[in-house]
Structure 1
Amino acid sequence: MIADVLAEATSRMDRALEAAKEDFSTVRTGRANPQLFQKVLVDYYGTPTPLQQLASLANPEARTLIVTPYDKSALKAIEDAIRDMQNLGANPSNDGNMIRITMPELTTERRKEFVKLVRTKGEDAKVRIRGIRRQIKDDLDALKDEIGEDDIVRGEKELDAITKAHVDKIDEALKLKEAELLEV
């Protein structure tokens, strides 16, 4: 029983870690990256639709991204959705067939803002991991009637080790993203 509960904890913490890494990838660095547009929703015939379902994204140069819609009638809606993104600072240009986005150079001040944003996202991810730990600990405590106290204590120690490993992985991903952001 304890093994099942700990397996569930590991699974849930792994998903939280992956979500944190995806969240980190949406913060832009000095280069144009298609993952920046991962969460862009385009109003396509009245339905919010992810950009990846409406267009292909290509990265021909370090600071340029080309968005080619599958349906040319969605070109204006895609352009508007990209322009509405607050954290990009880019102005898309439309040539009638595709949208070209040139990312501006990041200033030192802007890089520091992005580092703060990433640290906040990292702290939120750690809070999610700790919340999962708390829920799993409650599940272990509920097993006290069926299993001995020593097994519960051993399970809690394993849970703490799993939690620490996942928090360390978030810290590691955070350090990599910070280094990437501060790289000129």
Structure 2
Amino acid sequence: MEILELTKHKMEKAVEMLQGNLKTIRTGVANASLLEHVEFEYYGSMTPINQVASIKVVEGRQLVIKPYDKSTLKDLERAIATSDTGLVPQSDGEVIRLNVPALTEDRRKELTKTADKMGEEAKIAIRNVRREGNDAIKKDKELTEDESKKLQEKVQKLTDEYVKKVDAAVSEKSAEIMKV
């Protein structure tokens, strides 16, 4: 049934979006995905850093950013400094180094709450998709009452399945954040 496929696809997208958002939450370990959402103006358009520079993890707690075009070094440095990553860029004229400090206990708890909030938003998106699917099923005049009920039950099972995936992703990220 196409309604079921569309519903499943939309729920999958909600989980993928959550996983992408969770990657941007900083743990105590350096990770190139910390800079995924940091953009700067490059030839008149906003460009993600990972498109104009190589980002490498060094010694587990340091990121080294080497721009392909050295003239962008100052702009990259400024973009990182003004971003919400909380990291301080250090440039030597060739590369930018970012030391990722260990997180304090309070900061870990804050980040866990942020992950929980992202999880709740994903669950809301999934529930909205469930509602849309059920509305589409109810509007379909070709379905008998029994078929309609069975499809709605399948949509509910999908919802439960994807909510569990959200919970698993959030608890995994929370464990990663709280790990010292």
TM-score range, shorter chain: over 0.9
1:103 CA drift (Å): 1.0
1:47 CA drift (Å): 1.2
1:159-174 to 2 correspondences below 5 Å: 159-174=155-170
Work out which of the residue numbers 37, 40, 45 in structure 1 matches 2:38: 40
Work out which of the residue numbers 67, 83, 86 in structure 2 matches 1:85: 83
Unaligned runs of 5+ in 1: none
TM-score normalised by the chain length of structure 1:
0.95
Unaligned runs of 5+ in 2: none
Q: Aligned residue pairs: how many?
A: 180
Q: Distance in 2 between matches of 1:128 and 1:61?
A: 38
1:1-184 to 2 correspondences below 5 Å: 3-86=1-84, 88-143=85-140, 145-184=141-180
Amino acid in structure 1 at the alignment position of 2:139: A
1:46 CA drift (Å): 2.6
Moved over 4 A (4+): none
1:133 CA drift (Å): 0.9
TM-score normalised by the chain length of structure 2:
0.97
1:108-165 per-position Cα deviation (integer Å, ceiling 9, x unaligned): 011011011111111011111111111111111110x211010000000000000110
Partner of 2:98, secondary structure, is: strand
Q: Distance in 1 between matches of 2:74 and 2:139?
A: 56
